Structure 1
Amino acid sequence: MPVRIEKLVQGGNGFARLENGTNLFIQGALAGELVEYAVDQTKNGYINGHVNQVLEASEDRVVPPCPYYGICGGCDLQHLSSEKQAETKRTLVLENLGRIGAIDPTSLLVEEVSQGPFWAYRSRVRFHVELSSRSVGFLAKKTNTLIPLEHCPILVDSLNKVLAEKHQLVEAARKEMFSNNSGKTPYIEVNAFAGDTQLSFGEEPVLVTVDGHRYWVSAKVFFQGNRFLLSAMGQFVSQHCLGESVMDLYSGVGTFSSFLQEEGRHIVAVERDSRCLALAKKNVPSAEFFTDSVEAWGKGKKRFVDTVVVDPPRTGLDATVPDLISRWEPKRIIYVSCNSVTLARDLQKFLAQGYTPRVLKVFDLYPQTFHQEVAVVLDRKELRQ
């Protein structure tokens, strides 16, 4: 049965609602299209499916250039024109903030989306290796089946080179086979990170330079996979930071702390991954570092701070963290998020603590996928103009 797609939603799926009120989430559909679909899964109140045929195509639909698109589990928006993706993601973010967080988008200064290269941008990746056949690639969508490939259009050239040659990845897999294989798949996972001139396949750090900031990073720690837009993110956080006392929570290898350094400013950085902080101490030697979870470290602490920067994982903040932060009475909170659903939830909690969102900016860090990065500036109510 044909259905008209209303919009794109979280996950990059098309959304429609049947006359009986059932919600449809259709993989491969775009807003405004008339499509025929096949049902993949039926649950109470909604249906997951995929496009069988596009009857009326959106003017923004394009032919995906990657031959593995729809098979490989990596990308999910190659059928939407690259130029349209940023606008679509900003719309999705604002809708999530309104629907989940009850935040009026018109109350925010919404800055223009930051964009970079649409292709050949990703410098951080996890390969899957089958040693018996020396096959290297990614997992198929929603399965544990290996898709061997020799080129990925979103990877930077240096990673595509080792993917085509294979031998470095096979050797790295042999080293990892006793320590990294969790047993969830029959393959060895090999993390790879491309620095300025060298590659890391494990704990060995390599140098990467972003807007003049030098970072030591290894494949085993988190660092944003798009260095082309990391500069814009760092500058945004730096420009909106207030005061001489700054707290950088979920600080990783010191990505934002490095941008926040200035004479007379004291930076406290908290990160639970000891490997990250070992590198962060090299990257930002002037900061004060603590290895702990934010919720455990902050419990019971009373301190004054001008600005708090938070960059939590996709799951968002622990339920106790907004209250902890509010007790420190920061003038400003800068929340960097990779999931606008959990961001909206957490902003609601900060609203209850007396903070209001003032500025929002979306960064299209991962073109060809629905993923987006968002930064929101919140001020204590008495600071809002």
Structure 2
Amino acid sequence: MAYQIEKLIQGGAGLTTSEEGKRILVMDVLPGELVELGDSQEKAGYIRSTLKTILQASEERITPPCPYWGVCGGCDFQYAKDEAQGILKEGIVLDNIKRLGGIDPASFRTESLETGPAWGYRNRVRFHVDIAERKVGFLGRKSKSLVPIDHCPILSEKLNALLEHPDRLFKAARILMFSNKGGRSGFIEVPVFSGDDEVSLLDEVVKTTVGGHTFFVTASVFFQSNEYLLPALTSYVASHAVGDTVMDLYSGVGTFSAFLQQKGRRVIAVERQRQCLSLAKRHTPDCEFYSEPVERWAKERKGSVDTVVVDPPRVGLDASLPSLIASWNSQRIIYVSCNSVTLGRDLQRFASEGYTLTQVKVFDLYPQTFHSEVVAILDR
């Protein structure tokens, strides 16, 4: 039986419907394609199927150019044209906002999709290292086996140079092994970050420049991995901040705080990770740093906050945060999200506190994958 793919949903699965009206999810497909399904597995509320044959392919489909496609677990969207990927991911974001946030996309402005180079953009990565076999690569697709990689087309030149000459990776892996920080995969996971001139492994500090601002970063702390689109992302966030008091929650090494600073403005950077705070103080000295739970700040230093920038992990915000932010009389929330599922949920929570979603912009920070970054602007 042939099935037509209706749309893509979170994680990249294609959605179609059985004759009985049940939702069927299948990977490696594109909207509009006519497909024949293989093995199916009944789940709670839906069916998970494999792709057997593409009977009618989308015009956006291409042959994945990477020789490791289908074996390596790193990239999952190489089968769509570069220019189509961001548009399809933007559709997933808007669908999640509508279904999970209960907000009609017609009620807010969707700004132009931000895209950049589709290859060679990534300057932050976590290599998996097999010391005994002297192999470096990534975990396989849907497996815990190591796929040795000679060259990864989405990585920057400096990171690919490490794959060609991996002695530094083996040295770092041994350091982690002896400190019992090997990783959950059975291999040693070595974090690497490519700065302006040098490459950081583990806790080595390197300099990187974003939009005219200098940052000091190590491979062990979080920093966005697309060196081409990060200036546009930070500039967009900063340009929408209003008022004299701005709070940067989940501030990390102060990436957004550096752009939020301006004469006469108080910027409060909230971050509990000590290494991040130490680095942030080197390049955002004019910020007010707070490392205790933000609930304690609210009790100790009562006052209003004009704009709150939140950039939470994939799990989204703690359930108590929207009401706490509302108690500061915050006029604007700038929500930076890497997971539009939890974004949709949190938008509902903010709506109950009197905030309205006014605009959304998607940044295709991770071409060749189903991940993206989205900025949502909410006003009271």
Note closer, same or farther for the CA distance 1:156–1:40 as it changes in structure 2 (3 Å cut): farther
The residue that corresponds to 2:319 in the other structure is 319
> What does 1:152-171 align with in structure 2 at a 5 Å threshold?
152-171=152-171
The residue that corresponds to 2:309 in the other structure is 309
Deviation at 1:146, TM superposition (A): 0.4
Deviation at 1:180, TM superposition (A): 5.3
> What does 1:55-204 align with in structure 2 at a 5 Å threshold?
55-179=55-179, 181-182=181-182, 184-204=184-204
Counterpart code for 2:144? N
Deviation at 1:331, TM superposition (A): 1.2
- Kindly provide the CA deviation profile for residues 161-209 of structure 1, in whole angstroms up to 9, marking residues without a partner as x: 1012221111111111133545632210000000001011111111000
- Kindly provide the CA deviation profile for residues 198-235 of structure 1, in whole angstroms up to 9, marking residues without a partner as x: 01111111100011011001000000000211111111
3-state SS of the aligned residue for 2:158? helix
Q: Which runs of 5+ in 1 are unaligned?
A: 381-385
Note closer, same or farther for the CA distance 1:40–1:119 as it changes in structure 2 (3 Å cut): farther
Deviation at 1:87, TM superposition (A): 1.0
Deviation at 1:60, TM superposition (A): 0.3
The residue that corresponds to 1:288 in the other structure is 288
Higher alpha-carbon deviation: 41-50 or 152-161: 41-50
Counterpart code for 1:82? D
3-state SS of the aligned residue for 1:228? coil
> What does 1:242-281 align with in structure 2 at a 5 Å threshold?
242-281=242-281
Conserved in 2, the CA contact under 8 Å of 1:38 and 1:51? yes
Conserved in 1, the CA contact under 8 Å of 2:27 and 2:51? yes
Counterpart code for 2:49? G
Higher alpha-carbon deviation: 228-237 or 37-46: 37-46
Deviation at 1:298, TM superposition (A): 4.5
> What does 1:205-224 align with in structure 2 at a 5 Å threshold?
205-224=205-224
3-state SS of the aligned residue for 1:88? helix
**In the alignment, does 2:51 pair up with 1:51?**
yes
Deviation at 1:295, TM superposition (A): 5.2
3-state SS of the aligned residue for 1:280? helix
Task: Quote the Cα distance in structure 2 between the aligned partners of 1:16 and 1:299.
Answer: 50
Conserved in 2, the CA contact under 8 Å of 1:294 and 1:321? no
Task: Quote the Cα distance in structure 2 between the aligned partners of 1:309 and 1:140.
Answer: 36
Task: Quote the Cα distance in structure 1 between the aligned partners of 2:60 and 2:150.
Answer: 29
Task: Quote the Cα distance in structure 2 between the aligned partners of 1:210 and 1:32.
Answer: 39
Counterpart code for 1:259? F
**In the alignment, does 2:233 pair up with 1:233?**
yes
Higher alpha-carbon deviation: 84-93 or 188-197: 84-93
Task: Quote the Cα distance in structure 1 between the aligned partners of 2:34 and 2:87.
Answer: 21
> What does 1:8-23 align with in structure 2 at a 5 Å threshold?
8-23=8-23
Task: Quote the Cα distance in structure 2 between the aligned partners of 1:262 and 1:181.
Answer: 40
Identity %: 53
> What does 1:322-337 align with in structure 2 at a 5 Å threshold?
322-337=322-337
Note closer, same or farther for the CA distance 1:25–1:295 as it changes in structure 2 (3 Å cut): farther
3-state SS of the aligned residue for 2:10? coil
> What does 1:335-374 align with in structure 2 at a 5 Å threshold?
335-374=335-374
Task: Quote the Cα distance in structure 1 between the aligned partners of 2:140 and 2:169.
Answer: 19
Conserved in 1, the CA contact under 8 Å of 2:176 and 2:182? no
Tell me the number of residue pairs that the alignment of Structure 1 and Structure 2 aligns.
380
3-state SS of the aligned residue for 2:375? strand
Counterpart code for 1:248? D
3-state SS of the aligned residue for 2:229? helix
Conserved in 2, the CA contact under 8 Å of 1:364 and 1:373? yes
Deviation at 1:134, TM superposition (A): 0.4
Counterpart code for 1:192? V
- Kindly provide the CA deviation profile for residues 364-385 of structure 1, in whole angstroms up to 9, marking residues without a partner as x: 00001111111011111xxxxx
Q: Which runs of 5+ in 2 are unaligned?
A: none
3-state SS of the aligned residue for 1:126? strand
Deviation at 1:292, TM superposition (A): 3.5
Task: Quote the Cα distance in structure 1 between the aligned partners of 2:182 and 2:171.
Answer: 18
Note closer, same or farther for the CA distance 1:316–1:149 as it changes in structure 2 (3 Å cut): same
Conserved in 2, the CA contact under 8 Å of 1:114 and 1:362? yes
